[in-house]
Chain A
Amino acid sequence: MGVVSVFSPTRTIAGLAVGAMLLTGCGSSLDESSGSKAEGGKSGGAVKIGLLVPLSGVYAPIGEDLRAGFQLYLDQHDGKLGGREVDLKTADEGEGPQTGVPAAQKLVTQDQVSAVAGVVNSATALGLRDFFDESKKPLLIANAGADDITGARKSQYVWRTSFSNGDVSAALGPAVAEEVKGKVYLIAADYAAGKEMVAGFRKTFEAAGGKVAGEKYTPFGKTQDFQPYLSAIRKSGADAVFAFYAGAEAVNFVKQYKQFGLSGKTSLYGTGFLTEGGALAAQGTAAVGVKTSLHYSTELDSASNKKFVDAYQNAAKKPPTVYAVQGYDTAAVLDKALAEASGDSGDALVKALAKVGSIDSPRGAWKFDSDQNAEQQFYLREVKSSGGTAVNSVVGELD
Chain B
Amino acid sequence: MATHLVSVLNGLAMGSLLFAIALGLSLVFGMMDVLNLAHGAVYLVGAYVAVALVSDGAGVAAFVLAVLAAAAAGAVLGALLAALTRATTHHLDQALLTLGVALVVAEALSLAFGNDVHSIAAPEPVGGGVTVLGETYPVYRLLVIGFGVVLAVAVYVLVERSPLGSVIRATVADRAMVAALGINTGRVLVGVFAAGAALAAVGGVLAGPILGAQPGLDEKVLLLALVVVVIGGLGSVRGALLGAVLIGQVQALGTALLPEYASFLVFGAMALVLLLRPAGLLPARTGVHA
Contacts and interface: CB of A to CB of B under 8 A. Distances in A.
B138 A248 contact: no
B7 A278 contact: no
Interface in B6-42: 6-7, 10, 14
A278 B214 CA distance: 11
B201 interface: no
B116 A261 contact: no
A283 B116 contact: no
A222 interface: yes
A190 B252 contact: no
B118 interface: yes
Contacts of B162: none
- Residue among A223, A228, A229, A261 with most chain B CB within 10 A: A228
A231 B259 contact: no
Interface stretch (A15-23, A58-66, A198-206, A377-385): A58-66
Contact of B137 (A190, A247, A260): A260
Interface string B128-148: 010000011110000000000
Contacts, number: 90
A279 to B, nearest CB: 6
Interface residues of A, number: 35
Given A61-B116, A219-B262, A225 B215 contact: no
B212 A252 contact: yes
- Residue among B110, B119, B214 with most chain A CB within 10 A: B119
B263 A260 contact: no
Contact of B119 (A222, A261, A284): A284
Nearest to B121: A284
Interface string A205-246: 000000000001011001111011101101100000000000
Interface in A240-298: 247-248, 251-252, 255, 259-261, 277-279, 281-284
Contacts of A224: 210-211, 220
A227 B252 contact: yes
Contacts of A190: 263
A234 B259 contact: no
- Residue among B117, B119, B129 with most chain A CB within 10 A: B117
A58 B210 contact: no
A260 B129 contact: yes
B217 interface: yes
B254 to A, nearest CB: 8
B269 interface: no
A282 B129 contact: no
Contacts of B138: 259-260
B255 interface: yes
**Contact-size category for B:** 20 to 34
B251 interface: yes
Contacts of B7: 227-228, 231
Contacts of A61: 114-117
B100 interface: no
Interface in B205-233: 210-212, 214-217, 220
A80 to B, nearest CB: 30
A260 B252 contact: no
B3 A231 contact: yes
B211 A252 contact: yes
Interface in A187-203: 190
A189 B86 CA distance: 43
A225 B114 CA distance: 23
B262 A218 contact: yes
Nearest to B116: A278
B10 A225 contact: yes
B8 to A, nearest CB: 11
B117 A282 contact: yes
Given A222-B220, A225-B251, A260-B138, A58 B259 contact: no
A278 B117 contact: yes
B117 A251 contact: yes
B214 A260 contact: no
Interface string B247-283: 0000111011001001100000000000000000000
Contact of A255 (B14, B119, B129, B263): B119
Given A190-B263, A255-B119, A282-B116, A228 B252 contact: yes
Contacts of B110: 60
Contacts of B214: 247-248
Contacts of A248: 117, 212, 214, 216-217
A262 to B, nearest CB: 8
23 contacts: A57-B216, A60-B115, A61-B115, A64-B115, A219-B262, A227-B10, A227-B252, A231-B3, A232-B3, A232-B256, A234-B3, A235-B3, A247-B214, A248-B212, A251-B119, A255-B119, A261-B129, A261-B136, A278-B116, A278-B117, A281-B116, A282-B116, A284-B56
Which 5 A-B pairs have CB atoms at the shortest separation, nearest pair first? A261-B136, A278-B116, A219-B263, A228-B256, A60-B115
Interface of B: 3, 6-7, 10, 14, 56, 110, 114-119, 129, 135-138, 210-212, 214-217, 220, 251-253, 255-256, 259, 262-263
Given A61-B114, A224-B220, A232-B259, 20 more contacts: A60-B110, A190-B263, A218-B262, A219-B262, A222-B220, A225-B252, A228-B10, A228-B252, A229-B255, A231-B6, A231-B7, A231-B256, A234-B3, A251-B212, A252-B211, A252-B212, A259-B136, A260-B137, A282-B117, A282-B118
